[in-house]
Amino acid sequence: MKQGYSFSTMWNLRRHQSGKDMINEIKGLGFAQVELNYNVTEELLADIRPMVDQGDIIVSSVHNVFPFIADRDYDTDSVMLGFDDPIKRQKAVDLLKKSADYADSLGAKAVVVHPGEVPFDDNIDAILKKLWVEKGRESKEYQTLWGEMLARRNELAPIHVTRIRESLEDVCSYIEQKGYDVRIGIETRSRCNQIPTLQEANQIITELGGDRVGIWYDIGHGTMMGRMGLYDNEQEILELKDKVLGVHIHETVGIVDHWCPYIHSEDLEGFDVFLPVIAAAPIKVYELRAPCEAQQIERSYQIMKGKMDQLQL
């Protein structure tokens, strides 16, 4: 078994109507731990919980909002904990508390959360990514729109960061009161208008104090944001690796993520910079897209494990 590593149900959830079959397929890859992602429904969970209770599988983490709810205001790309509307913001807080309830009941040590974003009228990130591919990051078209996005982001992000921190204070108090052994991981995001950057995450964690909240470093997301120009991904995460609670392990090809490290990029060295971060993270989760094949996953793992073993000599 792949000791010390977990595997996200993002990979195979849409292939299964049975939670038991979904988990057994992941176990067939050699993983004894799973992260239950935000698309896991109450019905799938009903199949999975007996497996947890019987010790057939360990849940490392759950991904907010958990289990799945059909409400676009609180989906994966949402203002979430930073809503202007206090009623909506309180609902987001309550949903995160509920995810923590489920995490505790399943023995999971963390809840992964997408904290929020600076809202735009259109999908500014998708427009910028299209320009990045078609014109290049240094093109006038990209740089002009990037500057406009960054100006709005810089203007509005501070108030959202403050609201997110206040929301997390509420959630942390709730976890303390309940006596849960559960932490919150604020995930680095995949869109340039989303919160947090690595420095925003550091600010939130520092202001909160304590150890209830850590960075959930999504390697592919960080890579995309570095390539787009939002922050110095590789340098900053190495400086902050001691604040990392968990990692989502996957690589980015161009600006498309959730591929098998070392395999889909055919680059046997570029991912190495993240190995010290993975080594330091208490929770390590593979988060791969559905087209990744079992053989590719195994080869990727073996390459990375060999490198990690050498790193720790």
**Mean predicted confidence (pLDDT) in 53-60:** 98
Tens digits of per-residue pLDDT, 98-130? Answer: 999 999 999 999 999 999 999 999 999 999 999
131: in domain: no
146: in domain: no
The domain total for the chain is: 1
Show the tokens assigned to 32.
């004894």
191: in domain: yes
135: in domain: no
134: in domain: no
pLDDT surpasses 90 at 210: no
**Mean predicted confidence (pLDDT) in 138-144:** 98
Say which CATH number the domain at 259 has. 3.20.20.150
Average pLDDT over the chain reads: 97
Instruction: Report the predicted TM-score, pTM, of the whole model to 2 decimal places.
Output: 0.97
List all residues 6 or more positions away from 274 whose beta carbon is below 8 Å from its beta carbon: 219, 234, 237, 247
Range of weakest confidence among 48-52, 106-110, 149-153, 207-211 = 207-211
Three-class SS of the chain = CCCCCEEECCCCHHHCCCHHHHHHHHHHCCCCEEEECCCCCHHHHHHHHHHHHCCCCEEEEEECCCCCCCCHHHCCCCCHHHCCCHHHHHHHHHHHHHHHHHHHHHCCCEEEECCEECCCCCCHHHHHHHHHHHCCCCCHHHHHHHHHHHHHHHHHHHHHHHHHHHHHHHHHHHHHHHCCCCEEEEECCCCCCEECCHHHHHHHHHHHCCCCEEEEEEHHHHHHHHHHCCCCHHHHHHHCHHHEEEEEECEEECCEEEECCCCCCCCCCHHHHHHHHHHHCCEEEECCCCCCCHHHHHHHHHHHHHHHHHHCC
148: in domain: no
Q: Are 249 and 257 in contact (CB under 8 A)?
A: no
CA atoms within 13 A on the CB side of 114: 22
Q: pLDDT confidence of 307, banded at 50, 70, 90? A: very high
Q: Report the pLDDT value the prediction gives residue 313, as an integer from 0 to 100.
A: 58
Give the number of other Cβ atoms within 10 Å of residue 121's Cβ: 5
Q: Is 70 exposed, middle or buried (0-12, 13-18, 19+ CB in 10 A)?
A: exposed
Tens digits of per-residue pLDDT, 273-297? Answer: 999 999 999 999 999 999 999 999 9
Q: Report the pLDDT value the prediction gives residue 1, as an integer from 0 to 100.
A: 87
- Percent of the chain whose predicted confidence (pLDDT) is above 70: 100
**Mean predicted confidence (pLDDT) in 8-33:** 97
How many residues in total does the chain contain? 313
CA atoms within 13 A on the CB side of 50: 9
107: in domain: yes
Q: pLDDT confidence of 311, banded at 50, 70, 90? A: confident
Q: Report the pLDDT value the prediction gives residue 125, as an integer from 0 to 100.
A: 98
How many whole angstroms separate alpha carbon 276 and alpha carbon 97? 31
Q: Report the pLDDT value the prediction gives residue 296, as an integer from 0 to 100.
A: 98
Tens digits of per-residue pLDDT, 150-201? Answer: 999 999 999 999 999 999 999 999 999 999 999 999 999 999 999 999 999 9
Question: 229 is in which domain, residue-wise?
Answer: 6-118+161-311
140: in domain: no
Give the number of other Cβ atoms within 10 Å of residue 177's Cβ: 8
Closest CA to 82 of 196, 198, 236: 196
